[in-house]
A and B are shown apart, each in its own frame.
Chain A
Amino acid sequence: MSYEKIGQELKELLGLRGSPVAVKLAKTGADLPAGYQKVPEKSRHCQFVQNARLTGTKGYATLDEHMCKGGAGVMGIGPIPEHLSTGSTFHKLGNFRTAEGALDTVSAIPKSTESYYASVYSPLESAEFEPDVVVVIATPKQALRLSQAYLHELGGRISSDYSGIQSLCADAVVAVIERGVPNMTLGCNGSRKNTGIADEEVILGIPPRNLPAIIEALKIFSEKWG
């Protein structure tokens, strides 16, 4: 699969701001793509995605580089801090009226069933590795087209799930890898505030295997619908 072509076509057919982002979870140091360096500075997973999307920054982040240990934890990079796994932080922050509601929510957040050494990022069109998931940050209309394109081949419906917390990590990466199906999510307070995902943007995680059919469908839509 030529991700260079797919990445370019996705950008052009949808008119995306920035690039789709290839994300890989590396089991060990040996699984890191050749030539990839650590990300230039410590930050959060959602910021690494944004950097790859908007500035073309490539690199990998181990637990040390992940400042948001909750995001890293759900991806299997280190443990999930207790104050997050119990939901107590989200309860204190006011996300939930009760501690039980917070616990119920964090228990249902998708979590990696495997442990990983690092997460790897690159704009899709220049990725030198096989991604586990492609993260697309899009407007609702672009997300509509992607949804229609996903359904073009086999039909059906799409079910997306999110809880407004741990969005780009759990919803857009882990859920997609674990289930093997796309998921759409609306971001979380952290990703909206810290990483500059715009109010008019949503986030989609897509399994790479779905991309060729999505591109073909987008071309058909483009011909038919302009």
Chain B
Amino acid sequence: MVKTINVQGIRAPNSGILADNVIKNMDNSDEEIRFLLSPGAEVGMEAVARKHGYTLETSKSGDLIEARLMPTGKTMQEIDVRGDFCPGPVIAVGNIIAALPVGERLKVKAAGSDTLEDIVMAVKSSGSGVVDQGVEGDHHYLIAEKAEKPEAVSAIVNRDSVVIAQSSGIGNAERAYATFLFSKVGLSMGKKVTIFLLMDGAGLAKKGNAACVKHPEFERLDVLMDEVIKAGAKVYVCELSAKFRGIGPRDLVEGVRLAGAATYLELMSNPANAVVNF
């Protein structure tokens, strides 16, 4: 458990004096403490951390500064999921976060941004947060912070997003066309459209495949697909289905991104999304 103390409004050096007293009164010297400070009040916190054998990390938290004091030697847990593919990273990260005390953090290293986005989706869906993400050298990373999942409340939601799950592929031309024609309609209605290609639908993500489909009454499928992507539809292809069919990142149609099971499940379970299956 990380103790969080909001001391906004208190300026330096009083913030440091207060922090010193808080640490002296802690029951457990192994406990991590997080102070939420007004900008500028972090001055002097380094000296307090050193005095008590803590390591200080500061970061922005909205309009405030977050100063985390961790007992020196206690480091943030890390997991490296490079080389692993969906659903492995999401499961591994989820298991670690489930065991973390509230407020503690986990650093995740991933090879690509697609895997990372899938993990972000899973972390947020579990009620925890992502406090930082970016690129370090040759890999992507995120820092997740464990939080309690808020109780679900029933609410009336506007379904202004449409998710089209496409699992038939070019083997069923009518369903393939419907996927992108319905998307065009959705976009014209001002709705956010997300297409998730999975199972045989993953074949549509491979360059050249959609160009083989042409119905006399409609544009060639790859042209239609390109129109929809350029109009703002997000198109994901299931990482597992793509791998199953030997489709790699370089084979993908421009604008199509790999996504994992967590992204799919989150899209399906979000009550704001109207889901259509083709």
Q: Which residues of A contact B (CB under 8 A)?
A: 104-105, 107-111, 113, 154, 156-159, 161, 163, 178-182, 207, 209-210
Q: Please name 4 further chain A to chain B contacts, defined as beta carbons within 8 Å, in addition to the given A178-B6, A181-B22, sorted by A numbering.
A: A161-B7, A161-B10, A181-B25, A207-B25
A109 / chain B contacts, CB cutoff of 8 Å: 9
- Please list 24 pairs of residues, one from A and one from B, whose beta carbons are closer than 8 Å in the complex, sorted by A's number: A104-B9, A107-B9, A108-B8, A108-B38, A110-B6, A113-B4, A113-B6, A154-B24, A156-B17, A156-B20, A156-B24, A157-B17, A157-B20, A158-B17, A159-B14, A161-B9, A161-B18, A178-B5, A179-B5, A179-B18, A179-B21, A180-B26, A181-B21, A210-B25
In whole angstroms, how far apart are the Cα atoms of A209 and B22 in the complex?
A: 13
Tally A-B pairs: CB < 8 A: 53
A182 / chain B contacts, CB cutoff of 8 Å: 21
In whole angstroms, how far apart are the Cα atoms of A107 and B5 in the complex?
A: 14
B15 / chain A contacts, CB cutoff of 8 Å: 159
Please tell me the size bucket of the interface on B: 10 to 19
In whole angstroms, how far apart are the Cα atoms of A101 and B220 in the complex?
A: 63
Across the A-B interface, the 4 shortest Cβ-Cβ residue pairs: A108-B9, A159-B17, A159-B14, A181-B21
In whole angstroms, how far apart are the Cα atoms of A176 and B73 in the complex?
A: 30
In whole angstroms, how far apart are the Cα atoms of A179 and B22 in the complex?
A: 6
A105 contacts B17, CB within 8 Å? no
A210 / chain B contacts, CB cutoff of 8 Å: 25
B9 contacts A159, CB within 8 Å? no
Binary contact track B21-33/A, C-beta < 8 Å → 1, others 0: 1101110000000
A207 / chain B contacts, CB cutoff of 8 Å: 25
A181 / chain B contacts, CB cutoff of 8 Å: 18, 21-22, 24-25
In whole angstroms, how far apart are the Cα atoms of A180 and B17 in the complex?
A: 14
